Amino acid sequence: MSLNDPIADALNNINNAENVAKRTCSLNHSKMLENIIKVLVDQGYINNYKVLDRKPHKKLIVYLGGKINKCKAIKPRFAVKHFDFEKFEKSYLISRDVGVIVVSTTSGIMVHKDAKQQKLGGRLIAYVY
């Protein structure tokens, strides 16, 4: 496991756990990753999660529901204006209304649909469908 991009590593672990039909997945904790997981729980892709505060490192335990077909980090993290999301939807999502792109905005981490609605731009982090 590389420590160059912990978000990409965590999303890869989730994707691999889903592919072999595991029910849980253990990840290294970070605030940004926890916020991404919250968004995925809100969207229904993940059942739930909990934070284990064990020394020396915090862990995130993610409870999977078998609803993720693909989950990947977007590299490089493109900066996007609110009217440019369509272009990235076409290149990362398989169909118009299938899946979400996770975006980091000035109002926090959210899905691209909410960012579009609030007319917020941001940086693309990941996509899930």
Q: What is the pTM of this model?
A: 0.93
- Give the chain's radius of gyration (CA, Å): 14
CATH numbers and ranges of domains, the chain: 6-64 (3.30.1370.30), 71-128 (3.30.1490.10)
6-18 pLDDT, tens digit per residue, is 999 999 999 999 9
The per-residue pLDDT for range 36-62, each reduced to its tens digit, is 999 999 999 999 999 999 888 999 999
Q: How far apart are CA 38 and CA 51, in angstroms?
A: 12
Longest Cα–Cα distance in the chain = 44
What pLDDT is stored for residue 54 in this prediction? Answer: 87
> Mean per-residue pLDDT for 25-32?
96
Rounded CA-CA distance 101/124 in Å is: 7
